[in-house]
Chain A
Amino acid sequence: MEKQSFIKRVVVPAAIVFAVMAVSFIAYNTAWHIKVEFIHKLVVNIAAVVLFLCVGFSPFAVYTMSYFRGATFRERVLATLINPAAWAIKEVVRVTATFSIGESIYFLFNPLIISLFAAVIAQVGLLEMLCRRSLKKRGENVEVFSVPSLAAIIAGLSIFVINLAWEQGVHSFYLFMEGYKLLFGFGL
């Protein structure tokens, strides 16, 4: 595999997804101004799906691109984390409209953001093995199966499922709120 420049192997993959994410975010939130109902619904539905994929499944694009552009494992992880981190930071900034800096930073620990990063970990584990498999098919001498990859899948999926599947995330949310009360009291 040819090792491309840092920009091409780390920045570009993340930037491509970031750009698509940004456009779909803007389209989703502004499409309701479109007067023609059919186009309004079409744009909003497509934007919603694309945004969801960019936020939740960006590793499929970013990690894979980085991998085949010769990025090291650390560089692949760095590139993969850029978009979820951007989304999380956007969420934190969103709530600063109402809450203090401390409360807004604590927002990073809400079940949705935790689940997002858990999903990213699981995807990284899976993609590592899928990319190795692809390399092996090209004749490279590489082990497909890896214990750390499997561990990442299990850990990521477990956190994700517990967070969101445990009475649809209600219990995780209440735990998150107990933490908030411990740190910030009643928030008034």
Chain B
Amino acid sequence: MNNKPPEKKTSRRDALKKIGLVTGAALAGMGIHGSDPARAYQGKRPNIIFILSDDHRWDLLSCLDHPFMQTPQLDRLAKDGVLFTNAFVTTSLCSPSRATFLTGKYAHSHGVRNNVTPWNNENVTFFESFKKLGYDTAFIGKWHMPGKLPQLRGVDKFATFTVQSGQGRYFDCPIIEDGIERPSRKKYITEELTDMALDFIGKQRHNPFCLFLAHKAAHHQFLPPPETKGMYKNIKLDLPREIDQGITMTNGNIFYGTMGPMTYHYRNYCETLTALDGQIGRVLDKVDEMGIAEDTMVVYAGDNGFFWGEHRLIDKRWAYEEAIRVPFIVRYPRLIPDPGRKADQMITNVDLAPSVFDAAGIQIPLDVQGASFKPILENGTTPGRTAWLYEYFRDYPYNVPQHFAVRTKTHKYIEYDGRHENELFDLAADPKEEINLMGSAEGEKLLPGLKKKLDDLKRRMGI
């Protein structure tokens, strides 16, 4: 008699589990964190509120000691959560970055490589997984993905605008709400979008909810509402040495919509951000008022940074710090044991999707290219990633060549297509990236390692 138990065949589920664990172990070995897909979710699934701003530079927060910016509500969010001081976007441009937040994939993967390539509705957004779990879902605000407005799967409410190629207007912006165009109820777009968000949050419901609130602010034309207009009029600005008032209008920069002097636009931009901050406060107040703060993960991030004269540039796109670094704040009281912490681990926009999945106990799809930062929220000593890939694809008519870069904790290496010289910076010694080490003795020593890292990252990410 054979007393041995019958040989157990490996099921597909077990195989996937093993692949996931091996991948997770491998990624953990590289300093990137994944979720154990086999772990059963314990406890109440959180509500998710993701607030995305436009062109908000990482250092324009009063809690980061900006000389004059007032962002009391974002400071409040940071005080009650975790402020990531090394948060980045993998492509510094509106449409690709937004698609990356939604899908957890790089631009070359989701296909929205620039502001002209259309959104492919075969792309899977994180909404779909939340909807399968019974969440109420909403996308409110700036879609700005080229092509027609999609029928987004997994989204109960889709409210956006299409004027000015999806950029919207600051004042009297018509809204397309679930396919029907209507005039704006409020004069100022940020307030209008916040009202819609509050309506959604405040609905009577049995299910948790997932809200993606994408603001137009503070994109050009940088128009603040009357309440904040002029508040920084007399402030002495501390702009970089290499700027002059005309940068906004020379070398094709005027195509960014910046007709007028630099300082004029910068003040308007700051005033627009302070107004946005006020509206974010309304969302936080609503969450508090409803008593759901403990069970709500609020994430605030910018879609990309912005130059205000650094390197004699305006706008974004280039792989320099001012363009690729974004504000990134997470509040989720159930998860974060030490609110008010500033986390310096490197995270990117491609990490949002896996992180919200992880927070909600959803298995992270294998094709998602980011890593969950939930372990960092839970424990500040969790090591972060050691390097990540940046990519930028040509976007006519902006004279920025296609380039790829590797950003480590201390260095950055940028490889350009075309005739632009490659660049290598020691970010610790030269945080303003003024000294290109290519061709120098130090650069020669660093280049092989960084080049290998870049090539490895490109290969791993499927380029």
Residues of A within 8 A of B (CB): 28, 31-32, 41, 44-45, 48, 91, 94-95, 97-99, 103, 107, 110, 112, 167-170, 173-174, 177, 180-181, 184, 186-188
Does B121 sit at the interface, judged by CB under 8 A? no
Known: A174-B165, A177-B116, A186-B117. A97 touches B399 (CB 8 A): yes
| B313 CB within 8 Å of chain A | no
Q: Which of B131-139, B244-252, B279-287 contacts its partner?
A: B244-252
The residue of chain B having its C-beta at the shortest distance from the C-beta of A37 within the complex is B241
Q: Contact between A187 and B395 (Cβ–Cβ < 8 Å)?
A: yes
Instruction: Tell whether A188 pairs with B401 under 8 Å between CB atoms, given A48-B244, A170-B257.
Output: no
A169 to B251, CA, bound (A): 17
A44-B244, A94-B252, A187-B116 are contacts. A177–B419 as well, Cβ < 8 Å? no
The residue from A97, A110, A167 contacting B401, defined by CB atoms under 8 A apart: A97
| A107→B399 CA distance, assembly (Å) | 11
Inter-chain contacts of B257 with A (CB < 8 A): 168, 170
Q: Is B157 an interface residue (CB 8 A)?
A: no
Of the candidates B113, B252, B418, the one whose C-beta lies within 8 Å of that of A188 is: B113
Chain B residues near A94 (CB-CB < 8 A):
251-252, 399
Closest CB pairs A-B (n = 9)? A186-B117, A32-B242, A48-B246, A44-B244, A187-B396, A98-B401, A186-B116, A95-B399, A98-B399
B-side residues, CB < 8 A to A, are 113-114, 116-118, 146, 164-165, 221, 241-246, 250-252, 254-255, 257, 259, 312, 393-402, 418-420
Inter-chain contacts of A110 with B (CB < 8 A): 255, 397
Contacts of A97 in B (CB 8 A): 399, 401, 418-420
Q: Which of B113, B118, B252, B312 has the most CB of A within 10 A?
A: B252
Q: How far is the CA of A41 from the CA of B242 in the complex (A)?
A: 10
Q: Decide if B394 touches A99 in the complex (CB within 8 Å).
A: yes
A139 to B401, CA, bound (A): 59
Find out whether the CB atom of B117 lies under 8 angstroms from the CB atom of A173: no
A45 to B394, CA, bound (A): 32
Give the docked Cα–Cα distance between A112 and B242 (Å). Answer: 25
Query: Across the two chains, which residue of chain A brings its CB closest to B400?
Result: A98
Q: A48-B244, A95-B252 are in contact. Are A174 and B116 (CB under 8 A)?
A: no
> Which B residues touch A187, using CB under 8 A?
114, 116, 394-396
B259 touches A188 (CB 8 A): no
Cα(A168)–Cα(B401), bound, Å: 27
Chain B nearest CB from A38 CB (Å) reads 13
Query: What's the nearest-Cβ distance from chain B to residue A186, in Å?
Result: 4
Which of B164, B250, B393 is within 8 Å of A174, CB to CB? B164
Contacts of A112 in B (CB 8 A): 254-255
Sample (18) of A-B pairs whose CB atoms are under 8 Å apart:
A32-B244, A32-B312, A44-B244, A95-B252, A97-B419, A97-B420, A110-B255, A112-B255, A168-B259, A169-B259, A177-B116, A177-B396, A181-B116, A184-B396, A187-B114, A187-B395, A188-B114, A188-B393
Chain A residues with CB under 8 A of B398: 98
Closest A residue to B108 using CB positions: A188
By a CB distance below 8 angstroms, the chain B residues around A167 are 164
Return A18 CB to nearest CB of chain B, in Å: 18
Check if B401 sits within 8 Å of A173, measured CB to CB. no
Q: How far is the CA of A44 from the CA of B244 in the complex (A)?
A: 7
- Give B114 Cβ to nearest chain A Cβ, in Å: 7
B244 closest partner in A (C-beta): A44
Q: How far is the CA of A107 from the CA of B252 in the complex (A)?
A: 11
Known: A95-B252, A98-B401, A99-B396. A170 touches B244 (CB 8 A): no
Whether the Cβ atoms of A98 and B418 lie closer than 8 Å is yes
Instruction: For the complex, give the distance between the alpha carbons of A72 and B451 in Å.
Output: 61
CB of B308, distance to nearest CB on chain A (Å) = 15
Q: A45-B245, A174-B164 are in contact. List 11 more A-B contacts (CB 8 A).
A: A28-B246, A31-B244, A32-B243, A32-B312, A97-B401, A97-B419, A98-B394, A99-B394, A170-B164, A186-B113, A186-B118
Closest residue of chain A to B250 (Cβ to Cβ) is A28
CB distance from A27 to the nearest CB of B (A): 11
A91 to B257, CA, bound (A): 18
Contacts of B402 in A (CB 8 A): 98
Contacts of A184 in B (CB 8 A): 396
The smallest beta-carbon distance between A14 and chain B, in angstroms, is: 22
Of B114, B117, B221, B396, which one neighbours A103 at CB under 8 angstroms? B396
Residues in B with CB closer than 8 Å to A188 are 113-114, 117, 393-394
In the bound assembly, the distance between CA atoms of A140 and B315 in angstroms comes to 55
Known contacts A48-B244, A94-B399, A98-B401, A173 near B252 by CB under 8 Å: no
B284 CB to closest chain A CB (Å) equals 33
Which residue on B lies nearest to A112, using beta carbons? Answer: B254
A184 to B114, CA, bound (A): 14
Find the A residue at minimum CB distance from B112: A186
Nearest B residue to A32, CB-CB:
B242
Q: List residues of chain A with CB within 8 A of the CB of B245.
A: 45, 48
Q: Which residue of A lies closest to B260 (CB)?
A: A168
A97 to B399, CA, bound (A): 7
CB distance from A151 to the nearest CB of B (A): 28
B281 to chain A, nearest CB (A): 31
Contacts of B418 in A (CB 8 A): 97-98
Residues of B within 8 A of A44 (CB): 244, 246
What are the residues of chain B within 8 A of A95 when measuring CB–CB? 252, 397, 399
Chain A residues near B419 (CB, 8 Å)? 97
User: How many angstroms between the C-alpha atoms of A119 and B114 in the bound complex?
Assistant: 33
Q: Residue among B114, B241, B399, B420 with the most chain A CB within 10 A?
A: B399
Q: In the complex, A44→B259 CA distance in Å?
A: 18
Select one of B114, B221, B312, B400 contacting A186, CB under 8 A: B114
Closest to A107 in B: B397
How far does the alpha carbon of A181 sit from the alpha carbon of B146 in the complex, in Å? 11
A170: B residues at CB distance < 8 A: 164, 257
Decide if A168 touches B221 in the complex (CB within 8 Å).
yes
Residues of A within 8 A of B251 (CB): 94
